[in-house]
Structure 1
């Protein structure tokens, strides 16, 4: 992996950290390629259940590296988007651990994650209009699905930012932590998820991801083959057996 991105495994969790504090963790091509490679590893490995997207240096991400943009660098990946996740997130769950500012593409990275844990002094925003740009990495598509549409509209048109407390109140942020505690909070949340069956976790995310784009009946039809595969899995048998025997389950991911 590139030095601009640090990847480490913590039990069944892959922690992927942007490491460009001198550039407020702005995303250039190198960062996009490195994060894309990391989430591909996350999806490919049976011993990994989910990922955490974090950063170093006290700022989550200031978005696209404007210096790289002005130099003609394409910081997004074809078919995958900014950081390789805004257009095509991983199949397994991803938690954002947000410290400081999550602005523009940085906010869009958080929105591409399934869950957000944020420090109480974090702030979110899509201020692209202030630079004559448009939030094209999913911000305008995902924000009104995560918070009230009128609030999303105001943030997008004014470029104003949203406090972590308000983001939590509106449902964008799942959990708040003290300043400096977002990664620890994200790992604690990850631990509550990895205690569950890994196949069930992945399929649950897959069904939820498409739920708002379908009618309830379409959802039942679409989920049927996924549910049947889960019912036929070794993990489903192990879960029921462990419950009956009053012991922790031993998941195999099969």
Structure 2
């Protein structure tokens, strides 16, 4: 994987390739609890845009260095903007089409896994709500405390949480600014998939990614598209839009479907190739 050359980025994001086809992005401001900065957001945008276009990368894992996944926005910098009268939040929200950290509203056809140690707060929570799978440490905490600071979880967190949990549970977190633990996050609210000891979070995320890449990348990416379409359309519209998509064409006209069916009849593991979209 060393042949891959990611775009230039600052030290605020660490980039690695733990296994073939897997990209690992680590937010790297541990002294500041990985609070998002404009530089970090720009780095993430460039790296994730590159990930989308790089055919040999099939899954991305997002995590945070240090004791917190992401504490959300840099409130000190935000306060300075507000007090100076230079704040332009509404314009910024509209202009940033991929949302907080270029992740909270990103519509990627490739799977995104969040690996959470310590906790996810505010914008960090909005990021993980838009991930496909969430691995959390046993002691992790989760909150959307924006109302406690006079702001709003407006970068995608509100509709995503409502969709995942239903209105009353979403209101419990959003209107109270309530903090929940990993057990509640999985059993009551439903936005955490796996709970493991803190030392096993990254390894479990990588293992989960490996389970994904053992499947056809064409089929996985088309299935992810189907999940995204299900959020926007009724059943009939979602099915028809999915059926006529470029991803469906790639599945049914591509080489991986032939390999998958042939491997089944020959009773062997399939050997997948990179998608050709």
**Band of TM-score, shorter chain:** over 0.9
Which residue number corresponds to residue 11 of structure 2?
3
Which residue number corresponds to residue 256 of structure 2?
235
In 1, are the aligned partners of 2:116 and 2:136 still within 8 Å (CA)? yes
Q: CA deviation at 1:91?
A: 2.7
Distance 2:257 2:163 in 1: 32
Distance 2:22 2:69 in 1: 19
Is 1:195–2:204 an aligned residue pair?
Answer: no
Which residue number corresponds to residue 4 of structure 2?
none
Distance 2:250 2:24 in 1: 29
Which residue number corresponds to residue 181 of structure 2?
163
Q: CA RMSD in A?
A: 1.6
Q: TM-score, normalised by structure 2?
A: 0.87
Q: CA deviation at 1:135?
A: 0.6
Q: CA deviation at 1:149?
A: 2.1
In 2, are the aligned partners of 1:116 and 1:175 still within 8 Å (CA)? yes
Is 1:93–2:111 an aligned residue pair?
Answer: yes
Is 1:145–2:159 an aligned residue pair?
Answer: no
Distance 1:82 1:214 in 2: 24
Q: TM-score, normalised by structure 1?
A: 0.95
From 18, 22, 30, the equivalent of 2:31 is: 22
Which residue number corresponds to residue 237 of structure 2?
218
Deviates more, 1:57-66 or 1:145-154: 145-154
Q: CA deviation at 1:67?
A: 2.2
In 2, are the aligned partners of 1:197 and 1:253 still within 8 Å (CA)? no
Q: CA deviation at 1:88?
A: 2.2
Q: CA deviation at 1:37?
A: 1.3
Is 1:185–2:175 an aligned residue pair?
Answer: no
Which residue number corresponds to residue 56 of structure 1?
65
Q: CA deviation at 1:244?
A: 1.1
Q: CA deviation at 1:40?
A: 1.2
Q: How many residues align?
A: 254
Distance 1:207 1:27 in 2: 30
Instruction: Give the match's secondary structure for 2:52.
Output: helix
Distance 2:249 2:100 in 1: 35
Is 1:102–2:120 an aligned residue pair?
Answer: yes
Distance 1:228 1:91 in 2: 14
Deviates more, 1:23-32 or 1:163-172: 163-172
**1:42-76 CA-partner distances (Å, limit 9, x unpaired):** 11111111100011102011101112323448787
Q: CA deviation at 1:83?
A: 0.7
**1:119-167 CA-partner distances (Å, limit 9, x unpaired):** 1111111000000011111111111111232111011011011111011
Distance 1:206 1:38 in 2: 21
